[in-house]
Chain A
Amino acid sequence: MSKLCIRFSPLNGYDIPGLESWLEKQAAKGLVFAMTMGPLVLFERQEPAKLRFHLEPAPSKPDWTDPELNELYEQAGWKYLGLFRNSFAVFVTEDPEAQAHTDPETWDYALKRFLRRKLLGGVGLAILNFVLLNFSWSSQFTPEYIHYYWAEILSYGFLPWILTVLGLVLMDISYLHGLFVLWRLHRQTKSGLPMTPAPGSRLSGALAALSAIPLFLVAVEFAFLCATHGYFPYDLADSNFVTLTEIEGSGFQISQKWPDYMDYISHEYTPLTPESWFFRQYGVGHWNEDGTENRNVPHLEINITRYFLPNLAERRVWEWESWGRGGYRDLEPAYDLDQIRFCEDEHLDGTISYYLILRRGGTVLRVEYRGEQDITQFLPRFAEMIDSL
């Protein structure tokens, strides 16, 4: 049997009497406090024992593992076990009558000093809220977009943003409740009442533990972005993508000007955003001399997104269809594709854009084409592209 045992702390991290009582109950089961790791508490398996615990609030000095503190406690028969989340030094004794604090006024002073430090810590938490929310927010997260185009905005980091909001809300609630817990302990001490575990401590402890899950995922996402930028382009030559030359014929002249021309495939993904590909090409003469667009020049644009779930891809098909003026129709199912949708859209200047949306499982591909060729002739090639991704 492992000598170590891990438990979630079930109480608010500032609930001193509640945590002391919980540690004593764990010791009675043979689990003696060793250390904390975020919301997790590590215990060492020992013989069940009736022990008395005390959590000493970290003093304002920066060296919170103060040797003098340990010296004084050891002299009084206590043993130092470690730090509880950098907030408390944990001491234990076998003496059931031992008292760490014998002067209520001094204990109240220690509590007030600790409360002040935690209030200052709130400034750090507010900064963390601001930085994380700003980092993960995108201007596309408007109520309309979230309501109608939520599958699309998953590609713009909507999931990390939602997880950030969720994690921070849980953490903030737990922090505010923690301040209330400390203020309540201060009031009890000042009134000469015995300190008791705070109401709602279990709930806010659970919220703090839960907040670690989304924030951990966001941290993984952040680390991934820092290391890779989430952008992995590759050469067009190495891809199996359909090109404008392939559609229009080998003699067709492709514009070589950026951003009309891409000789690479734009390819992005992170742990929390779907993998996506983008590619486009225009024929020569896309821009008129007066800066207006020449819509008679052939154009090809390919967007592909691979979702975690087929339902999301199905939703994306619907969202893409709702962009245009409608008129999408089903084409005969083929090439092992789950959906084939096609639409012709005539512009005011008389030019026609053709849209093809293909879906296989969680992968959805959208082709926008302007030109004289029949884009549906290239369905097998687009299906092949999905295979080769």
Chain B
Amino acid sequence: MPGREKGPLTEPMYYVLMSFLRREMCGTEVTDFVDRKTKGRVRLGPGTLYTLLARFQDEGMIAETSVDGRKRTYKLTDKGRAAFEEELARLRACVNDGLEEEEAP
């Protein structure tokens, strides 16, 4: 299944997709997850997160599962998982290329 068509993910995009890998989450949980995971390195502004959730939903990478008051919960779709894995593979390749070059005699 094809992943995201429009080039590599930005860091906030990557981490937002990552947050849904293990379970469904609402927006505030995503913020906490990214903050905890990156130890505050990646900042996720509320406007960015809101736009990303809407965008990923439009692109079919996440799907809304429930609404509880002001909270909406989302899950990762197959397309979203493919996009994440594609990006992960790209990042791995980048790291490997860097390591290989660094370790070369």
A contact residues vs B (CB 8 Å cutoff): 54, 56, 59-61, 66-73, 75-76, 78, 91, 99-103, 105-107, 109-110
Contact = CB atoms under 8 A, between A and B. Distances in A.
A70 B70 contact: yes
Contact of A100 (B27, B28, B46, B54): B46
Contacts, number: 80
A110 B27 contact: no
Given A67-B69, A71-B27, A103-B11, A76 B46 contact: yes
A60 to B, nearest CB: 8
B50 A103 contact: no
Given A68-B50, A72-B27, A109-B51, A102 B69 contact: no
Interface residues of B, number: 24
Interface string B33-47: 000000000011111
Contacts of B52: 103, 106
Contact of A68 (B12, B27, B44): B27
Main secondary structure of the interface of B (DSSP, over half): helix
B13 interface: yes
23 contacts: A54-B47, A59-B54, A61-B54, A68-B71, A71-B28, A72-B28, A72-B46, A75-B28, A75-B46, A99-B45, A100-B45, A100-B47, A101-B45, A101-B51, A102-B44, A103-B12, A103-B13, A103-B52, A105-B10, A106-B12, A106-B51, A106-B55, A110-B47
Contacts of A68: 27, 50, 53, 70-72
Contacts of A71: 27-28, 70-71
A72 B50 contact: yes
A8 B3 CA distance: 48
Contact of A73 (B13, B46, B55): B46
A109 to B, nearest CB: 6
Nearest to B27: A72
